[in-house]
Amino acid sequence: MLVEGNGLLEVMNIPGIKGTATYSNHIMEVEKYLGIEAGRRSILNEIKYIMTMHGITVDIRHIGLLSEVMTSKGSIFELLKRG
């Protein structure tokens, strides 16, 4: 079952849920609760997923470089700031 959105910490704490196998597409929440490396991996996974869904082929090294740059300061650099 795939559920998108907020509430990663709450989901991970539900009895019977394997927290180490839980995934969230909310990158900022992943970083907040699991750390910057998990946030970096989440960025990489989300970009790869989006590109694949649109039929776009990008070398994984380029996506990796982008995710590294976005997390190089120890927190996630947001390319687009919301109003």
- State residue 23's pLDDT score: 86
Per-residue pLDDT reduced to its tens digit, 36-79: 999 999 999 999 999 999 999 999 999 999 999 999 988 888 76
Rounded Cα–Cα distance for residues 2 and 6 (Å): 13
Rounded Cα–Cα distance for residues 55 and 14 (Å): 36
Residues 38/15, Cβ–Cβ less than 8 Å: no
Rounded Cα–Cα distance for residues 54 and 19 (Å): 30
Residues 19/13, Cβ–Cβ less than 8 Å: yes
- State residue 5's pLDDT score: 60
Q: What single-letter amino acid sits at 35?
A: G
More confident residue, 6 or 69: 69
